[in-house]
């Protein structure tokens, strides 16, 4: 019988934690998904929404919640103003699938929630433009990423740079697959914003 990792008893290794430790207590780590790939970035713990808006390239943001411990932030107008992002869509499609198969440390309640989402008629995850993934606080606001998520991200996609960086870090074929070749020219994509000072 397969033993699935359980959120109540699972903990990250020190090596996992080192990737995700912010440079200062005023910052937290998040994931930035662009057309070129994905990367670990830092955003301020205060004025978090402003930092997310800058990175998705939209003055308004919308939260997408495929799991109980992570929020995917996209531009409110992205579906109308930005091109389909195949790499980001591949990643966020893997997330709920891995929760239900036990490849992501989650409670039985979280697995049931995600399975119900996958069973919803017409449920097809899609990302247009850039997206930011954060953790979630008890009141539904962006917060630090959970250990279960960061471990899943590390094992699902191979980050080719060994230190925290504010620029996009290319990932393995999961994000840069053949579908990415059909993405628009760089001039039609939102620019990757710099991390605020």
The model's pLDDT over 19-62, given as tens digits with 9 standing for 90+, comes to: 688 889 999 999 999 988 888 899 999 889 999 999 999 999 99
Global confidence as pTM = 0.73
128: in domain: yes
78: in domain: yes
58: in domain: yes
Which one, of 16, 11, 22, 12, lies nearest residue 166 by Cα?
Answer: 22
Which one, of 49, 76, 26, 27, lies nearest residue 140 by Cα?
Answer: 49
Q: How far apart are the first and last CA of the chain?
A: 50
193: in domain: no
Residue-averaged pLDDT of the chain: 75
Structure tokens at 150: 């960061």
- In the predicted model, what is the mean pLDDT of residues 77-92? 89
Structure tokens at 13: 């290794």
120's CB contacts (< 8 A; 6+ apart) are none
- Look up tokens 């800058």; give the residue: 54
192: in domain: no
Q: State the total domains in the chain.
A: 1
147: in domain: yes
């Amino acid at each position: 019988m397969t033993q699935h990792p359980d959120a109540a008893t699972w903990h990250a290794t020190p090596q996992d934690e080192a990737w995700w430790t912010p440079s200062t207590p005023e910052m937290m780590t998040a994931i930035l998904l662009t057309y070129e790939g994905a990367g670990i970035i830092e955003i301020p713990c205060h004025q978090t929404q402003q930092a997310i808006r800058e990175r998705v390239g939209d003055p308004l943001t919308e939260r997408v919640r495929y799991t109980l411990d992570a929020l995917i932030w996209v531009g409110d107008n992205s579906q109308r103003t930005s091109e389909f992002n195949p790499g980001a869509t591949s990643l966020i499609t893997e997330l709920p699938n891995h929760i239900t198969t036990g490849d992501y440390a989650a409670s039985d309640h979280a697995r049931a929630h995600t399975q119900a989402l996958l069973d919803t008629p017409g449920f097809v995850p899609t990302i247009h433009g850039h997206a930011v993934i954060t953790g979630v606080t008890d009141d539904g606001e962006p917060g630090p990423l959970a250990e279960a998520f960061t471990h899943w991200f590390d094992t699902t996609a191979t980050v080719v740079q060994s230190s925290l960086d504010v620029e996009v870090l290319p990932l393995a074929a999961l994000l840069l697959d053949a579908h990415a070749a059909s993405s628009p020219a760089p001039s039609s994509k939102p620019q990757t914003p710099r991390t605020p000072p």
